Amino acid sequence: MTETGDPAAGGGAARDATIAPLTFDAALAELERTVATLETGGTPLEATIELYERAVALEAHCSRLLADARLRMERLVERGGGRLESVVIPGGDRDDDADEARG
SS (H, E, C) the chain: CCCCCCHHHCHHHHHHHHHCCCCHHHHHHHHHHHHHHHHHCCCCHHHHHHHHHHHHHHHHHHHHHHHHHHHHHCCEEECHHHCEEECCCCCHHHHHHHHHHHC
**Residues 21-58: pLDDT tens digits?**
999 999 999 999 999 999 999 999 999 999 999 999 99
Extents of the domains making up the chain: 7-73
pTM, two decimal places = 0.63
pLDDT at 12: 57
